[in-house]
């Protein structure tokens, strides 16, 4: 019998061990198992949905004050486990431990705190003459979350669902289930009523698809690849349930001619490589004026040379491994494609960094002289790979930025605030970041085009879990 920790499902307020087999959870820094997760299937989804449906009848009637108290209890319980949660993220997906504790785990706390403030003033009921508008919970929500920012995506879905009065069935990534289990422990410790929150481990075919097609689930909120999001939407269509999606991205970072080039390039490179490049809104396409390409490429190379790739437990490490073997193989393949298609290799390249022969480590890579038709300019790589493209006019920069099937985020750098805002208005993206602002859980998050539909965070995320009812008096 294995001595590894065994992760089970949390259904109707109790831990339940499903019988669908065991999957090793691999530490990407060592390529060795650090836990095992018991995989569920449609039978466990049925149990979780039934529990959520029973709980909804009562939970949907709770008052704003009761839900505020519950969210406050969850935040307190979460805060008590922050270090444990961060350490779990570091083990399951390779994030440097300090980053995992402060940022990965910290984002979960930030979303809870923001949702508490949002719920205090959210308008659930209003009168417009003879019309009374009621904003009511949509029902049972199925939540499917990825491995790259596990707590961000779990909490930015669970918190608004509970704030609205919904009950939930959560399927986290089977590749990064440790932090999700700790989050379930937090929910239990906070006194969340049985059935209001349910956790079902499993893979896409066994659990994800069962959630998407389940007739007693009223809404599916999915974060992941565009390919998987399309499949979820198709499965959900037969029961006409609401579907919200946060999908892929290939975000452009436009450095306008008047920008402070050294600062803008450094910020762009570090944002792209943060979390080992495994962020759907990473600024992976750096657009610079043609006449400043050589300077920009040299600056980008210099920044890359300061990045320390290594063991997530080493305090000096700034870039950990990729999260899993599949992602490692994909990124290595796409780096080879970039070389073969003729992009200029400014930094990095194929293979592991020197001295790292084990673990899913990738050399931080920058391609220059990238043309819009190249694969590295069009495909979401999801690793520490940056493409530098050039433009000759502002119009061309905007056209290049919008020349993608995605539209999750965009970035603009300029000393002229008015000019930056004017460019931002013309970019087809759900969020535009001007001059490297700090992240905020109050900013709406979601995409245009094949980056999805719906929005997350604050009142924008809460609204997704709401039905609007009009009561008209004669």
| Residue range 169-206, pLDDT digits in tens | 999 999 999 999 999 999 999 999 999 999 999 999 99
pLDDT of residue 1: 56
74-109 burial, b if ≥16 CB within 10 A, otherwise e? bbebbeebbebbbbbbbbbbbbbbebbbebbbbbbb
Task: Count CB atoms within 10 A of the CB of residue 265.
Answer: 27
pLDDT-derived band at 474 (thresholds 50, 70, 90) equals confident
Mean pLDDT value of segment 277-295? 98
| Residue range 93-106, pLDDT digits in tens | 999 999 999 999 99
Mean pLDDT value of segment 26-51? 98
pLDDT of residue 19: 85
Residues 6+ apart with CB under 8 A from 54: 195
pLDDT of residue 93: 97
Would you name the residues annotated as active-site residues?
A: 246, 280
pTM over 0.95: yes
Alpha carbon of residue 38 to chain centroid: 24
The two tokens of residue 290 are: 């043609």
Do 139 and 166 meet the contact criterion of CB atoms below 8 Å apart? yes
Task: Count CB atoms within 10 A of the CB of residue 46.
Answer: 14
pLDDT of residue 134: 98
Eight-state DSSP code of residue 198: E
Average pLDDT, the chain: 97
Mean pLDDT value of segment 288-293? 98
SS (H, E, C) 357-424: CCCCCCCCEEEECCCCCCHHHHCCCCCCEEEEEEECCHHHHHHHHHCCCCCCEEEEECCCHHHHHHHH
Q: Three-class SS of residue 24?
A: strand
pLDDT at 321 over 70: yes
Mean pLDDT value of segment 148-175? 98
Eight-state DSSP code of residue 124: -
Mean pLDDT value of segment 366-394? 98
pLDDT of residue 3: 85
Strands in 172-235 per DSSP E: 197-199, 219-223
pLDDT at 466 over 70: yes
235-245 burial, b if ≥16 CB within 10 A, otherwise e? bbeeeebbbbb
pLDDT-derived band at 317 (thresholds 50, 70, 90) equals very high
Which domains, and CATH codes, for the chain? Answer: 6-247+451-472 (3.40.605.10), 252-440 (3.40.309.10)
Which of 137, 115, 109, 113 shows the shortest CA–CA distance to 124? Answer: 137
The two tokens of residue 100 are: 């995992």
Mean pLDDT value of segment 274-288? 98
Mean pLDDT value of segment 65-93? 98
């Amino acid at each position: 019998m294995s001595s590894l920790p065994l992760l089970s499902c949390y259904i109707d307020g109790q831990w339940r061990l499903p019988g669908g087999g065991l999957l090793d959870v691999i530490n990407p820094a060592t390529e060795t198992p650090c836990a095992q997760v018991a995989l569920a299937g449609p039978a466990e989804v049925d149990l979780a949905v039934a529990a959520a449906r029973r709980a909804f009848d009562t939970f949907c009637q709770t008052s704003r004050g009761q839900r505020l108290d519950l969210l406050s209890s969850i935040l307190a319980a979460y805060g008590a486990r922050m270090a444990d949660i961060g350490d779990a993220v570091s083990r399951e997906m390779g994030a440097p431990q300090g980053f995992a504790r402060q940022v990965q785990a910290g984002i979960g706390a930030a979303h809870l705190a923001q949702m508490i403030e949002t719920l205090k003033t959210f308008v659930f009921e209003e009168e417009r003459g003879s019309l009374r508008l009621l904003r009511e919970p949509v029902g049972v929500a199925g939540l499917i979350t990825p491995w790259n920012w596990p707590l961000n995506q779990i909490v930015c879905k669970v918190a608004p669902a509970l704030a609205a009065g919904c009950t939930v069935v959560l399927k986290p990534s089977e590749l990064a289930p440790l932090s999700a289990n700790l989050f379930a422990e937090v929910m239990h410790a906070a006194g969340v009523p049985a059935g209001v929150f349910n956790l079902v481990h499993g893979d896409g075919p066994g659990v994800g698809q069962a959630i998407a097609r389940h007739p007693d689930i009223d809404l599916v909120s999915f974060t992941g690849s565009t390919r998987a999001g399309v499949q979820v939407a198709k499965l959900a269509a037969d029961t006409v349930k609401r579907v919200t999606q946060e999908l892929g991205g290939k975000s452009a970072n436009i450095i306008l001619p008047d920008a402070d080039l050294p600062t803008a390039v450094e910020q762009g490179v570090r944002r792209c490589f943060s979390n080992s490049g495994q962020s759907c809104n990473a600024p992976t396409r750096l657009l610079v004026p043609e006449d400043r390409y050589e300077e920009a490429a040299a600056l980008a190379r210099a920044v890359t040379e300061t990045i320390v790739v290594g063991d997530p437990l080493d305090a000096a490490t700034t870039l950990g491994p990729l999260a899993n073997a599949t992602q490692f193989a994909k990124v290595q393949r796409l780096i080879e494609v970039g070389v073969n298609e003729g992009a200029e290799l400014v930094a990095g390249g194929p293979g592991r960094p020197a001295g790292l022969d084990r673990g899913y480590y990738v050399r931080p890579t920058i391609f220059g002289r990238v043309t819009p038709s190249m694969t590295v300019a069009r495909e979401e790589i999801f690793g520490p790979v940056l493409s530098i493209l050039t433009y000759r006019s502002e119009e061309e920069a905007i056209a290049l930025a919008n020349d993608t099937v995605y539209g999750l985020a965009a970035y603009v750098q300029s000393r002229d605030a008015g000019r930056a805002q004017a460019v931002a208005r013309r970019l087809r993206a759900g969020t535009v970041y001007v001059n490297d602002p700090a992240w905020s859980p109050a900013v709406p998050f979601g995409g245009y085009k094949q980056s999805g539909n719906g929005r997350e965070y604050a009142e924008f995320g809460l609204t997704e879990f709401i039905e609007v009812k009009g009561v008209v008096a004669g």
